[in-house]
Structure 1
Amino acid sequence: MTEVDTPRKATTQRLLESAAMLSYDPALEVDWETPLDTSYHGMSPEWSTLYGTPYWAEMTEDQRKELTRQEAASVASTGIWFEMILQQMVLRDFYAKDPTDPAFQWALTEIADECRHSIMFARGAEKLRAPAYRPRRHVVELGRAFKAIATGEAAYAAILVAEEVLDVMQRDSMRDERVVPFVRTINNIHVVEESRHMKFAREETKQRLMGAGRARREANAIAVAITSYFIVTSMINRDVYQHAGLDSERAIREAKANEHHKSMLRSSCAGLMEFLDSCGLLTTASLRFYRRASLI
């Protein structure tokens, strides 16, 4: 066993032990039976794309709550889309590798978690009375290509971006008593289990980059930044405003210019950007995409 393999084995063994001690079955943990209480928000209102805008000030409290419920459902639907990409990349990465390796067993554990999460998100969106929000067609096709060709640090760093942005948002909502209880439970489950996934993604990113030259780091930095841009800009589907009974054109215009929401995204990604920088994946070229996505 190499010096690199020894700490990696120890890390994945700890993750397996943690999963054995603290994992959830959403089918049993989430209250799926109680009817939706529309007196609650779907996410912390401060995370709404319209929070702090003139339109938000004009909206009734019921409209604000409906909007946050639709936005929460959109985030969940985008999460399902990316979790399916994640599962395929991890399966491809560990195809035909040593099944006795704790990293192999952890990869399967993570995939099992993601399957449960996707079902949980789907049922949650349905209970929020939302349609099946999906990324735009060109983003779906780009995702299809990315999951087929992304390898090594590009795959794991992209996984990390998707998980870290969602993590901060969900941590706020799971503690917020204004948010409907079943969504708080969903967020809590996801935060607990994704913390292990993020640990693995960080370790894999660092390991895969060992010995990587400048050209490889530059190329992967761009790939991760572009992927991050499409993930973040796909989280809130434009149709949420129509389904919330709002003027879609005005809502989209004000959401695009909403400095409060951009600030929330930037603050949520501060630690992530530090990590990417430490790995040599925050380059001059990649910064353009992170700025466009309001992540830096």
Structure 2
Amino acid sequence: MSGTAQETRNAEDVSRRLLDSAAKLSYDPALEVDWDAPLAPGLHGLNPEWSTLYGTALWDGMSEAQRVTLTRHEVCSIMSTGIWFEMILQQMVLREQYGKNPVTAQFQFALTEVADECRHSIMFARTCEKMGIGAYAPKRPILELGRLFKSLAVAEVAYASILVAEEVLDLMQRDAMRGENVLPLVRTTSRIHVVEESRHMRFARAEVRERLRDAGAARRQTSAVSVALVAYFIVTSMVNEDVYAAAGLDVGEAVRAAGGNEHHKAMLRSGAANLVKFLGEVGLLTRPAMSIYRRINLI
């Protein structure tokens, strides 16, 4: 068997195992989440350690009520960004599978992933609604760039971008699902997302490897920078500046404090460790790409 045929077979085997996993371990948020339970007033929206201000003098001077409010708005901002990018990736995955053989496990898992992402987006929207917090949208230029990206991104750029979005959030959500000081609503939605996204990340890794198997140096260089730029726009859009006003803070002061927060930078690097390792393994961690990742504190 040729190397190309073997890699294709390996990707198909991965997809088949993921389909089996999805059949055994998937969730319906409409049933799994207790949407009628009241929100405990003293519980956070995410683990305080993941707040953009945790560890700063500004955080130390905030009341506990302000901290709770801030983390709830931060998690809803992150969820809103998640919805935005999940809509992008659904369109990328569907476009990638257009015209492909529907009897393959790869095709069927790709559609399974799209169905999962639809449920996740609704779940995030209902979570923010339950907390009484409106949507936080990326800035208009980034929204329009996303519109262009979803129409043009293909192959390894599409699937590596999926990894960027999911890997950065994975550790944060794993902490949230175990956090006793985090709202049960967020803990449950985080658990659902972590379990189901672990399959999506395995699928994306297999697809990236397959798409890059015959790629030359020029293509890898271009793809590496493209994926890094996606990471830049996702990370810089996760927490909208308006969350600080919602917590009664001076927005300019809060933005400066967050920008210099070494603790939060270290948390981002820890969340991106698996992503960075994988990108290096497949040749997508070039010098230009690394300079972009450093700007957003992923390395």
Give the structure-1-normalised TM-score.
Answer: 0.99
* Aligned match for 1:93, one of 72, 86, 96: 96
* Aligned match for 2:231, one of 211, 228, 232: 228
Work out whether 1:159 is the aligned partner of 2:162: yes
SS at match of 1:217: helix
Per-residue CA deviation, residues 43-71 of structure 1 (Å, 9 max, x unaligned), is 00000000001100000111101100000
RMSD: 0.9
Gaps of 5+ in 1: none
Retained in 1: the 8 A contact 2:77–2:238?
A: yes
Per-residue CA deviation, residues 175-197 of structure 1 (Å, 9 max, x unaligned), is 00000001100000000000000
* Aligned match for 2:80, one of 77, 82, 93: 77
* Aligned match for 2:151, one of 143, 148, 162: 148
Name the residue aligned to 2:273: 270
Name the residue aligned to 1:197: 200
Name the residue aligned to 1:107: 110
Residue type at the aligned position of 2:98: Y
How many Å apart are 1:35 and its aligned residue?
2.1
How many Å apart are 1:288 and its aligned residue?
1.3
Q: CA–CA distance in 1 between the matches of 2:263 and 2:8?
A: 44
SS at match of 2:6: coil
Name the residue aligned to 1:179: 182
* Aligned match for 2:46, one of 43, 67, 73: 43
Mean CA deviation greater in 28-37 or 200-209: 28-37
Residue type at the aligned position of 1:68: T
Q: CA–CA distance in 2 between the matches of 1:73 and 1:25?
A: 20
Identity of aligned residues (%): 61
Q: CA–CA distance in 2 between the matches of 1:238 and 1:126?
A: 19
How many Å apart are 1:154 and its aligned residue?
0.6
SS at match of 1:4: helix
* Aligned match for 2:60, one of 37, 57, 75: 57
Give the structure-2-normalised TM-score.
Answer: 0.98
Work out whether 1:289 is the aligned partner of 2:292: yes
How many Å apart are 1:4 and its aligned residue?
2.3
Q: CA–CA distance in 1 between the matches of 2:7 and 2:262?
A: 43
Residue type at the aligned position of 1:75: I
How many Å apart are 1:37 and its aligned residue?
1.8
Retained in 1: the 8 A contact 2:8–2:210?
A: no
Gaps of 5+ in 2: none
Name the residue aligned to 2:211: 208
Retained in 2: the 8 A contact 1:262–1:294?
A: yes
Q: CA–CA distance in 2 between the matches of 1:140 and 1:294?
A: 22
Residue type at the aligned position of 2:75: A
Q: CA–CA distance in 1 between the matches of 2:118 and 2:235?
A: 21
Q: CA–CA distance in 2 between the matches of 1:64 and 1:275?
A: 35
Retained in 2: the 8 A contact 1:38–1:66?
A: no
How many Å apart are 1:31 and its aligned residue?
1.0
* Aligned match for 2:283, one of 262, 280, 292: 280
Matched residue count: 296
